[in-house]
């Protein structure tokens, strides 16, 4: 047993030196879309060092299983429509744990800073005098389509990708920025990726079509990207709300709108031809 | 020595089963912005298995050093303004290597499908009957700002991030999509991230301002994100071209435009206050 390497030693053997998660420090880390193979090495190092892991509800159990056996696991995530820890409570918990000298890993789905309220947590930690580090993760809005056979950019097709949240703005969420101008977004003719759109996609697609978007624009919905439960539905802008509604409710969903969605069928057709 | 673990064994010990890179197969993989700690575990598994690594010019040497000692390293990348392998040659090389039964890792900077011509390579491999897998990587347009203290989204500030390429469109690059409508993008009032803008940022910023964007909109340029040579310059939309021009020429640069850029100064000021 004396030759057995610790997880941290293995990470170091693989990539050389990695950052130290110091006592009293917080890493604001993105765990990617779900598949543990899509974690960054830096995040593995964080899991191998953390005394406390404060994690969103949707973090894959296989990822949480990589924490140290003695680490405190603190569920802190919001989950659409279910009771959840308040953001202020999450921040207070991070500050308390770090203040007590723990090495704290704040584990968020996807990327730390893409629609994850990571910026609020970073500002609160800075104001409390707690040192922190950002550990970026793969965002489901780019990795999800890629794994589903949909490139978010393609030469000759688009020169921009718009990542937008479909989470309802307005009085329902005090402090939110004004909702994106969906019709104006659609008129750009670029790829549009919408996160957290389950409840709003019908209204969003209607706004796009009313603003001049072609109802036949290719569109896809992707649920539970990178996991064994992953589902892909390819349709058009006019059919996207129905396609999203037909998917299992609890899994996070990503919607992709734009000509690049058609590449998936092209790849599948080529693969079929070769098989014949 | 008999207890020494191979790199692949270490990856498996860390995350459980990882995909096998089969003889004759190609992985189209993103190596992220540069720092080896920001690689995905899946990519480490690819490096530990590949017989041939066909890599962009800008791949960090520390990443290439993780390939198997006996692996064939094939430089294939384009680098702004320098002679480079033609895209058709790269594709032909991938097909030839896979056709000869090699396990091939195609290593691109950033993410496979974000402005990396990965879609063209995927379609060509499918047409040639070669099986392939997409291994997403962190894109510099999100990870670069995050590591520089700039969240690309923040509640109350923006609800979308636009990733766009500043690579010149038009007859200079046959087959390219029409250039984004920069003025329309700026009018959305969301975060805009521009890749490969060194030569075009002056024209792009002017188009945005002519279209009604506030010249005082916060803007930042980030060079060599995640590496020891990383540089950050914070300015405004009217000053961004000058800031980019003042950065070392060879390093890839990312431009961020939008109110979120101001969060960096806020984080630094809070940290300073606490230090006093």
Per-residue DSSP letters for B42-73? HHHHHHHH-SEEEE-TTS-HHHHTTS-TTPEE
C-beta separation of B57 from B75 below 8 A = yes
Q: Which residue of B has its CA nearest to A155?
A: B176
b/e map A134-160, b = 16+ CB within 10 Å: bbbbbbbbbbbbbbbbbbbbbbebbbb
Reply yes or no on whether the pLDDT at A273 is more than 90: no
Residue contact A177–B187, C-beta within 8 A? no
The reported pLDDT for the residue numbered B177 is 66
Closest approach of B103 to chain A, Cα-based (Å):
19
Q: What is the pTM of this model?
A: 0.95
Determine the pLDDT at residue B20.
95
Residues of B in Cβ contact (< 8 Å) with A189: 178
Looking at the complex, does the CB of residue A156 fall below 8 Å from at least one CB of chain B?
Answer: yes
Buried b (16+ CB within 10 A) or exposed e, B169-189: beeeeeebbebbbbbbbbebb
Grade residue A179 by pLDDT with cuts at 50, 70 and 90.
Answer: confident
* Exposure string for A89-124, b = 16+ CB within 10 A, e = fewer: ebbebbbebbeeebbbbbbbbbbbbbbbbbbbbbbb
CA distance A160 to A265: 21
Q: What does the pLDDT read at residue B98?
A: 98
Q: E strands within chain A? A: 26-30, 52-55, 72-75, 104-108, 132-135, 160-165, 191-195, 218-223, 231-236, 253-257
Using alpha carbons, select from A179, A176, A232, A233 the residue that is nearest to residue A208. A179
The answer to whether residue A160 neighbours chain B at the CB level (below 8 Å) is yes
Q: Does A143 touch chain B if contact means CB atoms closer than 8 Å?
A: yes
Using 50, 70 and 90 to split pLDDT, how confident is the model at A174?
low
Instruction: Using alpha carbons, select from A1, A264, A9 the residue that is nearest to residue A150.
Output: A264
Looking at residue A242, its pLDDT comes to: 97
Q: Cβ separation of B15 and A39 shorter than 8 Å? A: yes
**Partner A contacted by B265 (CB < 8 A):** no
Confidence band for A44, pLDDT divided at 50, 70 and 90: very high
> Does B163 sit within 8 Å of A161, measured CB to CB?
yes
Out of B115, B153, B179, name the one closest to residue A114 (CB): B153
Phi, psi of B103 (to 5 degrees): -95, 115
Q: Do B42 and A45 touch (CB under 8 A)?
A: no
From the list A112, A113, A126, the residue facing B267 with the nearest CB is A126
Map tokens 């406390």 to a residue: A52
Picking from B5, B119, B151, the nearest residue to A119 by CB comes out as B151
- Left if phi > 0, otherwise alpha if psi is -120 to 50, otherwise beta: which for A31? alpha
Q: Is residue A186 less than 8 Å (CB to CB) from chain B? A: no
A266 touches chain B (CB under 8 A): yes
Q: Is A208 a catalytic residue?
A: no
Band the pLDDT of A2: cuts 50, 70, 90: very low
pLDDT at A189 over 90: yes
Is the Cβ of B216 closer than 8 Å to some Cβ of chain A? no
Report the complex ipTM. 0.94
pLDDT at B3: 54
> Does residue A39 belong to the interface with chain B, where contact is any CB pair within 8 Å?
yes
So what's the pLDDT on residue A129? Answer: 96
Which of the residues in chain B have pLDDT under 70?
Answer: 1-3, 77-85, 168-177, 275-276
Between A and B, how many residue pairs show a Cβ–Cβ distance under 8 A?
259
Please write the tens of the pLDDT for every residue from A102-153. Answer: 999 999 999 999 998 999 999 999 999 999 999 999 999 999 999 999 999 9
Residue B273 has a pLDDT of 81
Confidence check: pLDDT of A79 > 60: no
Q: Given A60, A108, A111, A196, which residue is catalytic?
A: A196
Q: What is the pLDDT of residue B175?
A: 60
A133 touches B: beta carbon within 8 Å: no
Report yes or no: A100 at the B interface, CB cutoff 8 Å.
no
Q: Do A160 and B158 touch (CB under 8 A)?
A: no
Contacts with B16 from chain A: Cβ below 8 Å: 36, 62
Cβ distance A114 to B142 less than 8 Å, yes or no, reads yes
- Chain B residues with CB inside 8 Å of A129's CB? 274
A215 with A236: CB under 8 angstroms? yes
Among B119, B180, B184, pick the best mutation site for testing chain A contact (most A Cβ within 10 A).
B119
Unique residue bearing structure tokens 């673990």? B5
Min Cα distance A24 → chain B (Å) is 15
């Amino acid at each position: 047993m004396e030759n057995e390497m610790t997880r941290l030693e293995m990470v170091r053997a693989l990539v050389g030196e990695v950052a130290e998660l110091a006592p009293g420090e917080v890493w604001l880390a993105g765990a990617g879309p779900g598949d543990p193979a899509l974690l960054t090495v830096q995040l593995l190092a964080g899991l191998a060092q953390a005394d406390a892991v404060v994690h969103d509800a949707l973090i894959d159990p296989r990822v949480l299983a990589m924490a140290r056996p003695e680490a405190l696991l603190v569920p802190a995530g919001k989950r659409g429509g279910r009771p959840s820890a308040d953001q202020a409570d999450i921040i207070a918990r991070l500050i308390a744990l770090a203040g007590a000298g723990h090495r704290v890993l704040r584990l968020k789905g996807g990327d730390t800073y893409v629609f994850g309220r990571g910026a609020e947590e970073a500002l609160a930690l800075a104001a409390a005098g707690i040192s922190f580090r950002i550990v970026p993760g793969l965002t489901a809005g780019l990795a999800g389509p890629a794994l589903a056979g949909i490139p978010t950019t393609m030469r000759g097709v688009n020169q921009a990708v718009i990542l937008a949240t479909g989470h309802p703005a307005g009085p329902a969420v005090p402090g939110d920025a004004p909702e994106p101008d969906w019709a104006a977004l659609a008129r750009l003719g670029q790829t549009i990726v919408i996160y957290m759109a389950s409840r709003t996609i019908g209204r969003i697609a209607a706004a796009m079509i009313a603003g001049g978007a072609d109802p036949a624009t290719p569109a896809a919905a992707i649920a539970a990207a990178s996991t064994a439960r992953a589902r892909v539905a390819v349709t058009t802008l006019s059919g996207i709300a129905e396609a999203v509604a037909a998917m299992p409710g609890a899994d996070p969903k990503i919607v992709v709108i734009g000509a690049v969605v058609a590449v998936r069928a092209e790849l599948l057709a080529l693969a079929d031809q070769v098989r014949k």
